[in-house]
Amino acid sequence: METNAEQLRTLAAVVDHGTFERAAAALHITPSAVSQRIKALEEQSGRVLVRRSKPIEPTEAGAVLVRLARQVALLEAEAVAELAGSDQDTTAAIPLVVNADSLATWVLPALAALPGLSFDVVLDDQEHTLDRLRDGTAMAAISSDPEPVQGCVVSPLGAMTYRPTASPAFVDRWCPRGWTPDTAAAAPMLVFDRKDTLQDRYLARFAPGAHPPRHHIPASTEFVRAAELGLGWAMLPDLQADEPVAEGRLVVLDPDGALDVPLYWQQWSLRSAVLGRVAAEIDAAAARTLRRPPAS
């Protein structure tokens, strides 16, 4: 098949904006022109590329071409900047998928160390970020999966350590005589969202079969705040909990109950100077903050 950059750019705009009309406005063309470009690209590929849903979503074949569109756009922008002899990056926003705890603790300083770049950061659980790489909506992701997505490369970053933590008031109310499996089965629990399995993983080991009441708190900073207020217990990362524990606002319920969540950097397998800079800063920030195994 033969494609051109204009058609690929249009496909990416349709997926990004969710409708032909919004894509047309972003590209400064008519919706009819958008439709014609998508139709031509589908005819050339012999595949249906988008589902006409609300919002529009790429098919499996469409995701392949969306990823190609973003790769072409990135390399074009780098080439333009190099030809112009510019010291400033001229790339479009780089889409990244980051888990909320990493964004709230160690990732932002890495992004701030990259002046001239702009980022489109999407939050997702570390166990579910790879779907964004597969469908072409992200160039890179922080994931807990060491297996590279097709067309991507992966490198280890380190691990975030989580511990069962609660407020002193919670302890006084629910476990004044100690944290036991029976208490864990009855005491209210915090979970980030319905993808968050950390608390259940801990319970499977500490109190098998326990199904305590739970509160969903889908924001990282507010999640810690909910634990401080005694709303429930939660698996909190040391990077967020160390200070409130030292100040007495939180206590660790089970010193032996730590869970390590390994994190990996996955990015397109593409010779891109921009992605290389981003990967280097992310790795440096991870080296400063995450637990890394000793060198063998």
Q: For 152-164, what is each residue's pLDDT tens digit?
A: 899 999 999 999 9
- 139 and 274 share one domain: yes
Question: CA torsion 145→148→149→154, rounded to 10°?
Answer: 90
Query: Residue 91: what pLDDT?
Result: 59
What is the percent of the chain with per-residue pLDDT over 70, rounded to a whole number?
Answer: 94
State the CATH number of the domain containing residue 46.
1.10.10.10
Q: Please give the mean pLDDT across all residues of the chain.
A: 90
Mean pLDDT of 88-99: 75
**Are 235 and 192 a contacting pair, CB within 8 Å?**
no
State the CATH number of the domain containing residue 201.
3.40.190.10
Give the tens place of pLDDT for each residue, 9-59: 999 999 989 999 999 999 999 999 999 999 999 999 999 999 988 899 999
Give the tens place of pLDDT for each residue, 95-154: 899 988 999 999 999 999 998 888 989 887 766 667 778 777 788 999 888 988 888 899
Residue 187 lies in a domain: yes
- Residue 90's pLDDT band, with cuts at 50, 70 and 90, is low
Q: How far separated are the first and last CA of the chain, in Å rounded?
A: 48
Domain that holds residue 210: 160-258
Mean pLDDT of 232-257: 97
- 172 and 254 share one domain: yes
